[in-house]
A and B are shown apart, each in its own frame.
Chain A
Amino acid sequence: MLIAGVVIETLPGRAPEVALRLASRGGVQVKGGDGDRRLAVVVSAASGAELERWAEELVRDDEAVLGVFPTYVGEDERA
Chain B
Amino acid sequence: MTTLSRRSFLEASAAASALAALGGVHGVKQAMAATAAGGESWVKSVCRYCGTGCGLFIGVKDGKVFAVKGDKDNHNAGFLCLKGFLLPQILTAPDRCLHPLVRKEGKLVRASWEEAMSLVASKFKESIEKYGPDSVAFYGSGQGLTEETYCANKLFKAGIRTNNVEGNPRLCMASAVAGYVTTYGKDEPMGLYEDIDHADVILLVGSNTAEAHPIIFQRVVRRKETGRGVKVIVMDPRFTPTSRIADLHISFTPGNDLAILNAMAHVLVKEGMVDEGFIAKHVAFGEGTEVNKSFDDYKAFLAEYTPEKAAAIAGCRPEDIVTAARWFGERGKAATSMWTMGLNQRTKGVWANNLVHNLHLLTGKIGTPGNTPFSLTGQPNACGGVRDGGALSHLLPYGRLVANDAHRAEMEKLWGVPEGTLKPKPGLSTVDMFRALEAGEIKCLYIMCTNPGQSLPNVNRYRKAMERADAFVVVAEAFHPTRTSELADVVLPAALWAEKEGVYGCAERRYQLLEQAIPPAGEARPDFAILCDLAARLGHGKLLPFKTPADVWAEILTICKGTVYDFSGMTRERLKQAHGLLWPLPTPGHPGTKRRYVKGDDPLVPADHPERILFYGRPDKKAVVWLRPQRPPEEVPDAEFPFFLTTGREIEHWHTATMTRNCKELANTNLESMAQLHPNDARKLGVRAGQSVRLTSRRGSQVFRVKVTDNAKEGVIFIHMHDPDRMCNVLTIDAVDPVSRQPEFKVCGVRVEKA
Give residues in A with beta carbon < 8 Å to B.
1-7, 29, 31-34, 38, 40-43, 48, 55, 67-79
Contacts and interface: CB of A to CB of B under 8 A. Distances in A.
Most buried by A among B15, B210, B245: B15
B670 A78 contact: yes
B19 interface: yes
Most buried by B among A32, A38, A67, A77: A32
A78 B652 CA distance: 13
Interface in B26-66: 26
Contact of B241 (A40, A43, A74): A74
Contact of A3 (B11, B81, B222): B11
Given A32-B22, A38-B21, A74-B10, 20 more contacts: A1-B7, A3-B7, A3-B10, A5-B14, A5-B15, A7-B22, A29-B11, A40-B19, A68-B225, A70-B225, A71-B17, A71-B218, A72-B18, A73-B210, A74-B13, A75-B241, A76-B6, A77-B709, A79-B706, A79-B709
A77 B679 CA distance: 14
Contact of A40 (B11, B22, B226, B245): B22
Contacts of A55: 225
A75 B17 CA distance: 15
Contacts, number: 105
B278 to A, nearest CB: 35
A69 B227 CA distance: 12
B671 interface: no
B79 interface: yes
Contacts of A6: 14, 18
A72 B552 CA distance: 39
- Categorize the interface residue count of chain B: 35 or more
Contact of A72 (B13, B706, B709): B13
Contact of B11 (A38, A42, A78, A79): A42
Nearest to A40: B18
Interface in B224-238: 225-226
A68 B221 CA distance: 12
Contacts of B132: none
Interface string B69-92: 000000000010100000000000
B18 A73 contact: no
A41 B10 contact: no
Most buried by A among B22, B79, B674: B22
A11 to B, nearest CB: 16
B707 A32 contact: no
Interface of B: 6-7, 9-11, 13-24, 26, 79, 81, 210, 214, 218, 221-222, 225-226, 241, 244-245, 651, 670, 674, 689-690, 706-709
B13 A79 contact: no
Contacts of A4: 14
A2 B226 CA distance: 20
A72 B81 CA distance: 8
B717 to A, nearest CB: 14
A-B complex: 3 closest residue pairs judged by Cβ atoms = A5-B14, A40-B18, A72-B17
20 contacts: A3-B7, A4-B14, A5-B18, A5-B19, A31-B26, A32-B22, A34-B22, A40-B22, A55-B225, A71-B218, A72-B18, A72-B214, A73-B245, A74-B13, A75-B10, A76-B7, A78-B707, A79-B674, A79-B689, A79-B690
B244 A48 contact: yes
Nearest to A31: B15
B245 A48 contact: yes
Contacts of A42: 11, 14-15, 18
A6 B17 CA distance: 8
A42 B7 CA distance: 12
Contacts of A74: 9-10, 13-14, 241, 651
A28 to B, nearest CB: 11
A74 to B, nearest CB: 4
Contacts of B9: 74
B14 A3 contact: yes
A56 to B, nearest CB: 11
Contacts of A7: 18, 21-22
Contacts of A38: 21-22
Given A48-B245, A70-B221, A5 B689 contact: no
Contact of B16 (A1, A5, A68): A5
A38 B16 CA distance: 15
Contacts of B21: 7, 38, 40, 69, 71
Contacts of B6: 76, 78
Contacts of B709: 77-79
Contacts of B670: 78
Contacts of B18: 5-7, 31-32, 40-42, 71-72
A67 to B, nearest CB: 8
A63 B22 CA distance: 21
A23 B690 CA distance: 37
A39 B79 CA distance: 15
A69 B708 contact: no
Most buried by A among B7, B23, B26: B7
Most buried by A among B20, B23, B708: B20
Contacts of A33: 22
A34 to B, nearest CB: 5
Given A7-B18, A31-B15, A69-B21, A75 B244 contact: yes
B603 to A, nearest CB: 35
Contacts of A76: 6-7, 10
B742 to A, nearest CB: 30
Contacts of B79: 71
A32 B19 contact: yes
Contacts of B13: 5, 72, 74
A23 B123 CA distance: 67
A15 to B, nearest CB: 10
Most buried by B among A33, A70, A71, A79: A71
B7 A69 contact: no
A68 B707 CA distance: 34
A9 B222 CA distance: 13
A1 B13 CA distance: 15
B718 to A, nearest CB: 13
A72 B211 CA distance: 10
Contacts of B16: 5, 72
A47 to B, nearest CB: 9
A77 to B, nearest CB: 7
B719 to A, nearest CB: 14
Contacts of A72: 13-14, 16-18, 81, 214, 218
A48 B81 CA distance: 20
A38 B77 CA distance: 15
Contacts of A77: 709
A33 B26 CA distance: 10
A73 B22 contact: no
Nearest to A35: B22
Contacts of A78: 6, 670, 707, 709
